[in-house]
Amino acid sequence: MLPTVHRIQVVAILLAAVCAIITLLRTSADAREEAIRVQGSTTFTAEILAHYQGAVELATGQELNVVPNKSTPGLIALLENKADLAMISTTLKSAITSAQKTHPDLPYDRLQAFSITRTRVALAVHPSNPVRTVSLDTLRGVLRGTIVNWSELGGMDLPIRLVMVRNGGGVKLTVENELLGGDLITANNSIPVSNGERIVRVVEQETGALGVMQFNLLHRHSLPELQLDQVILQELNFITFGHPTPTLKAVIDATREVASSRFD
């Protein structure tokens, strides 16, 4: 049996070890809690963070907890303190207008936008569709529901089935803002879907489909593109609530830097 002094020493060592483990666990938990919460645009995620999140984390020493859930939900999450940064793939004005429809009383005047880069909206058609070009004016007619059949565009006698992510997505907000002056898309024969991957599947199966989507999705799945006489650009922005902290500013700057490398 160990002498009393030795037993006390052993107990002290064990207690010290337990305390060290508890401290380590608390530190790990704190580190997880301090991860920067980022929510919003799936376009922003696919174009930037899906490729460069690791580089941003390495450059800033900050972990990013990214939740892609569309521009409007991301903005609302930021305003409700469920996110530290919002990602939107449209203008801040358009995103606010969309969010106010369901959450009119949030402090939108406190929001600040930080431009990261731009991409473009793409129009995808079924491989059997012979139509490959269209003007912006004609597209406006499709979106407003005054042009309803592919035969009006020199194609087959088929209804035009407009396929888009339902409300809250940056692509739809951008198209409404840039082409329709902020008016809503009113095409009747449309197919609303939950996300961009669903657009791909519908366009691949539906002969009369016209998918309005992220360019990266069209490119990744090698879908035929309906070319416009003028591109529709999407803004990819980070949004903060008030002035960004030094930590958030570092993440914004690092993301802008890696985004610019896409064109080098």
Same domain, 44 and 113: yes
In 194-247 the beta strands, taken as DSSP E runs, fall at 209-214, 227-228, 233-241
Same domain, 230 and 155: yes
Q: How far apart are CA 25 and CA 21, in angstroms?
A: 6
Name the residue range of residue 244's domain. Answer: 35-118+235-263
Q: How far apart are CA 138 and CA 144, in angstroms?
A: 10
Q: What is the pTM of this model?
A: 0.80
Query: Quick one: pLDDT at residue 34?
Result: 83
The helix/strand/coil state of 219 is helix
Same domain, 160 and 240: no
pLDDT, one tens digit per residue, over 189-208 is: 899 998 889 999 999 999 99
- pLDDT band of residue 216 (cuts 50, 70, 90) is confident
- pLDDT band of residue 36 (cuts 50, 70, 90) is very high
Same domain, 104 and 154: no
Same domain, 87 and 160: no
The enclosing domain of 185 has a CATH number of: 3.40.190.10
Count of structural domains, the chain:
2
Same domain, 108 and 89: yes
